[in-house]
Amino acid sequence: MADHLMYVAQGKSATAATTPTNNNYGPKAIVRYLKRLKRAFRSKKFIFGTAILTFFILVAIIGPVFATNPNGFVGPDMAAPSLKFPLGTDFAGQNVLYQLIDATGPSLLVGFEAGALATLVSVVIGISSGLIGGIFDEASTLFTNIVLVIPSLPLVIIVAAYAGSSGLTPTILVIAFTSWAAYARVLRGQTLSIRNRDFILASRISGEKLWRIVFMEILPNELAIIASNFIFMVVFAILTQATLAFLGIGDVSSLTWGNMLYLANNDEALTSGAWWWFIPPGICIALVGTALAFINFGLDEILNPRLKIARRKDRHPK
């Protein structure tokens, strides 16, 4: 609550002082971000999101030690939840809880890998197009906008189906290369706006090399946006992979939450009332998505204090 009041008391000057694009020098900016990140732990939303995500990551790491042999035919078919099988069994008598635990790692990994790759593409295209300008900028903006308006899922479905795939890598690549565009546009705008600020001009005049300006001045100043984009892309990748798997496209053999839903839908989980088989994987996907969204909300509150000022002001109308 204290920082609430501080922002209100200082009014708009506080906003200006905490906007990430202000008089930062490279390494110092990173330190400042880390400090700000520490402050993020004051946000309930951030803590909530981090707690859920940590839980899933722990399950992904430690879980497989306990949940051995998730594909073993260990019980009766379609058994309702019991003490022995807390989430029941599927059509072949496999332990649903064990499958759920062992699917956690691959499901998260797809999201983080595709998210990281898409972030990389968006950073490279966004920053270079904002920095270089001219014809290159025109061309890459056109390219970005085209990728943006062409709906990705039909394309992803067809590429995955035609190319036929083994393992999750093709899925990751296809998702990454269709989802970077929106964020490249954001980063281009941000780069354009800081390109001509004094601290960048100063380092240009003093003869800094271009790569140094990019890595020491521009990137640190866009770290917040990049982090938030990364989180959104992870969510998007997890959802897209789940959708592809559910539709039976791409690699159907690796155990992910989406594949569990695919099997459940194909093997009559709905008609036989086996809710314990198809509800948990979906809830897990939604929980991870919610957790990541909350981390973003928490970061946003710290990095974009305007959201708070406005709300505060409104609660006590003059």
Partner 1 sequence: MRYFARKIGFYAVAAWAAITINFFLPRLIPGNPVEILMSRISQSGSPPPGEAKTLALLLGLSHGNIFSQYWHYLVQLAHFNFGISITDFPTPVSQIIASTLPWTIILVGTCTVISFMIGIVLGTIAGFKGGRWAEALIPSTTFLTSLPYFFLALLLLYFLSYEFHVFPLNGGYSDSVTIGFTWAFISSAVYHAILPSLTIILASIGGWLLGMRNMTLTTLSEDYVTAAEARGLPRRKIMINYAARNAVIPSITGFAISLGFVVSGSIAMEYVFSYPGIGYELLQAISNDDYALTQAIFLIITLSVLGANLIIDLLYGFIDPRTRQSR
CB of 8 to partner 1, least distance (A): 11
Give the C-alpha separation, 154 to 156, whole Å: 6
State the helix-helix crossing angle for 219-246 and 96-132, rounded to 10 degrees: 140
Residue 5: strand, helix, or coil: helix
Give the C-alpha separation, 10 to 55, whole Å: 38
| Ordered alpha helix ranges (H), the chain | 2-10, 12-18, 26-40, 44-66, 96-132, 134-149, 152-163, 169-178, 181-195, 198-205, 210-212, 219-246, 257-266, 275-303, 306-315
Among 288, 299, 302, 303, binds partner 1 (CB under 8 A): 288
CB of 208 to partner 1, least distance (A): 33
Q: Which is nearer to partner 1, 138 or 212 (CB)?
A: 138
Q: How many residues bind partner 1 (CB under 8 A)?
A: 56
Among 61, 139, 163, 202, binds partner 1 (CB under 8 A): 163
Give the C-alpha separation, 35 to 6, whole Å: 17
Q: Which is nearer to partner 1, 58 or 270 (CB)?
A: 270
Q: Which is nearer to partner 1, 203 or 265 (CB)?
A: 265
Q: Does the protein bind partner 1 through residue 311 (CB under 8 A)?
A: yes
Q: Does the protein bind partner 1 through residue 243 (CB under 8 A)?
A: yes
Give the C-alpha separation, 131 to 34, whole Å: 26
Place of tokens 């900028």: 137
Asked whether 70 and 94 are in contact (CB, 8 A), the reply is: yes
C-alpha triplet 56, 57, 58: angle, nearest 5°: 90
DSSP state of 83: S
Q: Does the protein bind partner 1 through residue 8 (CB under 8 A)?
A: no
Mark residues 182-221: x for contact with partner 1 by CB under 8 A, - for none. Answer: x---------------------------------------
- Contact region for partner 1 (CB under 8 A) — 30-38, 80-88, 215-223, 284-292? 284-292
SS (H, E, C) 89-137: ECCCCCEHHHHHHHHHHHHHHHHHHHHHHHHHHHHHHHHHHHHHCHHHH
Footprint of partner 1 on 137-156 (CB under 8 A): 142, 145-146, 148-155
Q: Does the protein bind partner 1 through residue 247 (CB under 8 A)?
A: yes
Among 159, 223, 224, 263, binds partner 1 (CB under 8 A): 159
Among 46, 56, 98, 278, binds partner 1 (CB under 8 A): 278
- Contact region for partner 1 (CB under 8 A) — 76-84, 85-93, 112-120, 157-165? 157-165
State the helix-helix crossing angle for 44-66 and 275-303, rounded to 10 degrees: 140
Q: Does the protein bind partner 1 through residue 249 (CB under 8 A)?
A: yes
- Contact region for partner 1 (CB under 8 A) — 32-40, 99-107, 204-212, 236-244? 236-244
Q: Does the protein bind partner 1 through residue 5 (CB under 8 A)?
A: no
Give the C-alpha separation, 218 to 216, whole Å: 6
Applying CB under 8 A, which residues contact partner 1?
Answer: 12, 142, 145-146, 148-155, 157-159, 161-164, 182, 235, 239, 242-243, 246-249, 261, 265, 270-271, 273, 275, 278-279, 282, 285-290, 293-294, 297, 306-307, 309-311, 313-315, 317-318
